[in-house]
């Protein structure tokens, strides 16, 4: 395959002066919807997001101005991942490929082809930046050299593979599959360490507790599971009123897990016991991973009702909401200083929203 290079795509930026809490600071408009979630560069200067128009975009985090776009041959539903050093952005595409792209220029570094036409999984990078882990609709989890794109190993499950998560010590990769299982795989060899069976598809990404002892994952059987990271034994399960398609998010202190359900609720669950702390009801399915502020005080969540909600992390009380004109499939992403949350909408816009504390609407 010839390398794919950046090309010019029409985009418009709308800027709000003196944005108030919950107000949109700017929006970046392009053709087509956005189901990918944004990722923020390590220095907070750039936001990366994929789009239905086949492009990965780099956008200035302060102004919303486009820096570059990288064009693939398919929809980019995959969430971008940034290398630990910040020099490379990794993303999957509906053209069957994972790409490594220069974070500053948008130039392609390498591509890796999987065995199925649509790559929706979001990649995970090892802590040392040497290996990229990615799931594929060809039923495989792949480990690829992050510098060259050369395959190290693949692990085959019984069905479509979710986005992976890496243990904090880098020794294991956790991944869900539509064969109803959560797997733990040796990060060096690709050998299975354990599997944990649920009652439904597991197509969302797991989350690991800050101390590394527990893996949290949702299932189509309406449950959020807590699983022992070393053994795969179930610690508890929390039952919602619908399938759990949202990725879980864990509070900075590790005491609470936040997750959305198809019953239109976002739940705060005690990480040790599985007891419900609170629920927040929106006007639609919160299909994407919530984002937690750096200080742990607020939770941000998108909804199929077209809104981004800010909720008190302790009580579940709404602080504010910011409205778009279509469904929000995207997971929000925080700026490093916590002052801005970035979220994409199927209305074709990437939004930057002020996160400063405010009174409820």
Residue 17, in any domain of the structure = yes
- Cα separation, 320 vs 77, whole angstroms: 27
Residue 102, in any domain of the structure = no
pTM: 0.91
Distances (CA, A) of 170 to 48, 154, 166, 188, 287: 25, 17, 6, 9, 28
Total number of domains constituting the chain: 1
Return per-residue pLDDT of the chain as tens, 361 residues.
444 434 334 454 544 444 556 889 999 998 778 888 999 999 999 999 999 999 999 999 999 999 999 999 999 988 999 999 999 999 999 999 999 999 999 999 999 999 876 788 899 999 999 999 999 989 999 999 999 999 999 999 998 788 999 999 999 999 999 999 999 999 999 999 999 999 999 988 999 999 999 999 999 999 999 999 999 999 999 999 999 989 999 999 999 999 999 999 999 999 999 999 999 999 998 888 999 999 999 999 999 999 999 999 999 999 999 999 999 988 999 999 999 999 999 999 999 999 974 433 3
- Cα separation, 12 vs 169, whole angstroms: 42
- Cα separation, 123 vs 166, whole angstroms: 10
Burial of 210 per CB tally in 10 Å (0-12, 13-18, 19+):
middle
Task: Tell me the residue range of the domain where 24 lies.
Answer: 12-33+240-361
Read out DSSP for 37-86?
PPEE-TTSSEEEEE-TTSEEEEEETTT--EEEEEE-SS---SPPEE-TTS
Please report the pLDDT score of residue 242 as a whole number.
95
Residue 313, in any domain of the structure = yes
Sheet holding 291-292, edge to edge: 291-292, 298-302, 307-312, 318-323
CATH number at residue 287: 2.130.10.10
Residue 126, in any domain of the structure = no
Residue 254, in any domain of the structure = yes
Residue 261, in any domain of the structure = yes
Residue 327, in any domain of the structure = yes
Contact 332, 349 (CB under 8 A): no
Residue 287, in any domain of the structure = yes
Please report the pLDDT score of residue 20 as a whole number.
59
């Amino acid at each position: 395959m010839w390398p794919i290079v950046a090309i010019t795509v029409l985009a418009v930026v709308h800027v709000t002066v003196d944005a108030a809490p919950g107000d949109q600071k700017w929006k970046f408009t392009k053709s087509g919807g956005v189901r990918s979630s944004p990722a923020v560069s390590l220095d907070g200067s750039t936001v990366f997001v994929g789009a239905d128009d086949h492009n990965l975009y780099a956008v200035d985090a302060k102004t919303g101005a486009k820096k570059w776009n990288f064009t693939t041959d398919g929809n980019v539903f995959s969430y971008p991942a940034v290398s630990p050093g910040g020099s490379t952005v990794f993303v999957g595409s509906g053209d069957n490929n994972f790409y490594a792209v220069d974070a500053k220029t948008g130039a392609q570094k390498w591509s890796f082809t999987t065995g199925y036409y649509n790559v929706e999984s979001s990649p995970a990078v090892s802590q040392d930046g040497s290996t990229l882990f990615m799931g594929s609709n060809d039923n495989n989890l792949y480990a690829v050299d992050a510098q060259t794109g050369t395959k190290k190993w693949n692990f085959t499950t019984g069905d479509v593979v979710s986005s992976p998560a890496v243990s904090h010590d880098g020794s294991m990769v956790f991944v869900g599959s539509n064969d109803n299982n959560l797997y733990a795989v040796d990060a060096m060899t690709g050998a299975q360490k354990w599997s944990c069976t649920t009652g439904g598809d597991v197509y969302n990404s797991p989350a690991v507790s800050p101390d590394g002892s527990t893996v949290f994952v949702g299932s189509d059987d309406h449950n959020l599971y807590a699983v022992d990271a070393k053994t795969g034994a179930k610690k508890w399960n929390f039952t919602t009123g619908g399938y759990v398609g949202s990725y879980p998010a864990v509070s900075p202190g590790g005491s609470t897990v936040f997750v959305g359900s198809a019953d239109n609720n976002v739940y705060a669950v005690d990480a040790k016991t599985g007891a419900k702390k609170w629920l927040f009801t929106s006007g639609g399915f919160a299909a994407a991973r919530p984002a937690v502020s750096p200080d742990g005080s607020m939770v941000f969540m998108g909804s199929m009702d077209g809104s981004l909600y800010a909720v008190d992390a302790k009580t579940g009380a709404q602080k504010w909401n910011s409205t778009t004109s279509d469904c929000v499939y995207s997971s929000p992403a925080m700026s490093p200083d916590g002052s801005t949350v970035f979220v994409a909408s199927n209305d074709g816009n990437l939004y930057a929203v002020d996160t400063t504390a405010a009174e409820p609407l």
